[in-house]
Amino acid sequence: MRKNSKLLPALLLSIAAGVITAPAPALAAEKCAIDTRKTRAVSERVGKKIQKAYELYSADQIDEALQVLLEIKTSNDFDKAYVSRFIGNLYAGKEGKTETALKHIKVAIDIDQLGGTDHAAALRLMADLSIQERKFEQALGYYQQWMEFTCKEDHNVYLRMATANYELKRFDQVLPLADKTIALQPTPNKGPYTLKMGTYYESKQYKKAAQVVEDMVRLFPADSRLWVQLAQMYMLSEDYKRSMYTMDVAHRNGYLEKPAEFKMLAQLYAQNDIPFRSAQIQEQYLKDGLVEKDEAALSMLANTYHQAKEIDKAITYYGEVAELTDKSRYYMRQAGLLMQSERFKEAKVAARNALEAQGLKSAGEAQMLLAQAHFYLEEYAPAYRAAQAATKDKKTANTAKGWVSYIQETAQRKKVQL
């Protein structure tokens, strides 16, 4: 039978599809139902039509084979079950016909007269198709029937049962099934580990989720993206140092791909009180075009350089984000740092830009910066005018009045007309 091409949801597809079934150990020593079923043959008349349908199927004439099977009139339950299972198998291989396949396979299962191997296969296919159609409760029931009928354990069955419970948000039932999968699988498969990580994540048990990803990094070294996931889990569990070191390993090995991941690395350095390294990383990924030079990126870079006490760099990037957005708050920060660096001519320009830009919260604060810049350049008349303007803002009125008096005294002493 051909494999159905309908895709499962992302999680199910990654962990429940395309795995090879290994021989399954027996659950119990006593004789199982599968072994008690006698092999039977369909009636001669039905057998001839089944043979014809099989020949058509073998020649890749699926629709023609189905037509032959659907026209068969059975006279006993065994024949009906056999034909129904054959029809269900063929529909299972046709795009968009899974529901029809389920209907026919259910008929075969409910009659409950097929031979042991055929009945077991019908139960297993019914369960697999139910998962594909997101009928998780139904799938769990048929997987359980399969295990009871065959007296076998199978790592793929446990994996699919864990997946169904995960999708039903029965997280307490996911973990034991995932552990059984891990115990039985012949070689490590990421599926059960992914389910365990997801379960711990959904239950907000981030430290345990991180422990699972640690195992995954060790078991699946070729999957470089696991390093990023591990760093994310460390961060969620508030282990910021381990998160930073892990993310740095990922960065040095070229595992980071998304803008958010580069930003995360920079944020981790800042959180761990290494702002200069954070700013260097931000500057590099902006230069390389890995992250867009937007307001958020440029303002974060300016703030980080400011935090690192790299004032000249902070001034540059506050200026860039101010020009990009025309927002007064960035011109104000730039003007303040320019004053701090005694770059008074540039501070005047930044303060004037703040007065003309958008979203100015306090005109008085901008006027005070402008007044001080003029004053230290010994431009007393424009300093006086700016300080006078600042007295009109309640926020700066008292400070501005003091500066007005101070400017007057200084100008009088230096014999400058205001």
The reported pLDDT for the residue numbered 18 is 36
The reported pLDDT for the residue numbered 407 is 96
Residue 95 dihedral angles phi and psi, to the nearest 5° = -60, 130
**Do residues 156 and 124 touch, judged by C-beta distance below 8 A?**
no
DSSP state for residue 358 in the 8-state scheme: B
Q: Return the closest-CA partner of residue 14 out of 209, 163, 143.
A: 163
**Do residues 145 and 128 touch, judged by C-beta distance below 8 A?**
no
The CA distance from 207 to 212, in Å, is 9
Quote the tokens at residue 146: 């399969």
Residue 239: exposure state from Cβ atoms within 10 A (0-12, 13-18, ≥19): middle
Give 141's contacts (C-beta < 8 A, 6+ positions apart).
127
Helix (H) / strand (E) containing 59: none
The CA distance from 224 to 256, in Å, is 9
The reported pLDDT for the residue numbered 180 is 97
Contacts 24+ apart (CB under 8 A), 258-263: 259/285, 259/290, 259/291, 259/292, 261/228, 262/290, 262/291, 263/291, 263/297, 263/300
Longest alpha-carbon distance in the chain = 126
The reported pLDDT for the residue numbered 220 is 96
CA angle 165, 128, 122 (to 5 degrees): 130
In angstroms, the Cα distances linking 48 to 42, 100, 107, 291 are 9, 24, 22, 68
pLDDT digits (tens, 9 = 90+) for 142-193: 999 999 999 999 999 999 999 999 999 999 999 999 999 999 999 999 999 9
Residue 29 dihedral angles phi and psi, to the nearest 5° = -85, -25
Three-class secondary structure of residue 26 per DSSP: strand
The CA distance from 310 to 327, in Å, is 22
Radius of gyration of the chain (CA): 36
pLDDT digits (tens, 9 = 90+) for 184-233: 999 999 999 999 999 999 999 999 999 999 999 999 999 999 999 999 99
Which residue has 């730039």 as its token pair?
334
The CA distance from 117 to 113, in Å, is 11
The CA distance from 269 to 306, in Å, is 15
pLDDT digits (tens, 9 = 90+) for 275-286: 999 999 999 999
The CA distance from 88 to 112, in Å, is 15
The CA distance from 287 to 352, in Å, is 29
The one-letter amino acid at 296: A
Helices (H) and strands (E) in the chain, counts: 23, 0
DSSP state for residue 238 in the 8-state scheme: T
Torsion (CA) 259, 9, 156, 145 in degrees, nearest 10: 150
pLDDT along the chain (418 residues), means of 10: 35 36 48 88 92 93 94 94 95 94 97 95 97 97 97 96 97 97 96 97 96 97 95 96 96 93 95 96 94 95 97 97 97 97 97 96 96 96 96 95 96 90
The CA distance from 284 to 278, in Å, is 10
User: Residue 304's CB: how many other CB atoms inside 10 A?
Assistant: 26
